[in-house]
Amino acid sequence: QVQLVESGGGLVQTGGSLRLSCAASGVTFIRYAMAWFRQAPGKEREFVAAIDRSGSVSYYGDSVKGRFTISRDNGKSTVDLKMNSLKPEDTAVYYCAADFGGSSRYYHFNEYDYWGQGTQVTVSS
């Protein structure tokens, strides 16, 4: 049974930092490209960041570029999202996702095979 379990969400002030983590089980982790998406109330799910299977190539959405960093540890089957300089508009539920093999359409949620349950991030102004 495949499971992606996110942790690390919470309440933080504007300008603060958080680190999200996603632990995968039931999959051969290195075979999957990984990503983070987010969804705010009333809005569509938005691409945040993705990382290839080896961890050598990463991609970011325009709204988080330069502030967020995605990384993975294939030995531990985890993928992290370090979020700095947080803004109120970063408030959302953040989801971890896994894509078998990876894709050039890493930014599209339809490419992903498995999803976590989400973790809430709230940035207060």
Report pLDDT digits (tens) over 9-62.
999 999 999 999 999 999 999 999 999 999 999 999 999 999 999 999 999 999
110 to 41, 91, 101, 122: CA distances (angstroms): 20, 22, 14, 26
Q: How far apart are CA 34 and CA 70, in angstroms?
A: 9
Looking at residue 77, what is its pLDDT? 98
The residue among 68, 76, 74 whose CA lies nearest residue 20 is: 68
Give yes or no for residue 1 having a pLDDT over 90: no
Whether 116 has a pLDDT exceeding 90, the answer reads yes
Q: Are 17 and 84 in contact (CB under 8 A)?
A: yes
| Residues across the chain | 125
Distance CA 108, CA 74 (A): 23
**Cα–Cα separations (whole angstroms), residue 125 to 6, 42, 66:** 24, 20, 20
Percent of the chain with pLDDT over 70: 100
- DSSP code of 42? T
Q: Which residue's structure tokens are 């359409």?
A: 105
pLDDT tens-digit readout, 58-113 = 999 999 999 999 999 999 999 999 999 999 999 999 999 999 998 999 999 999 99
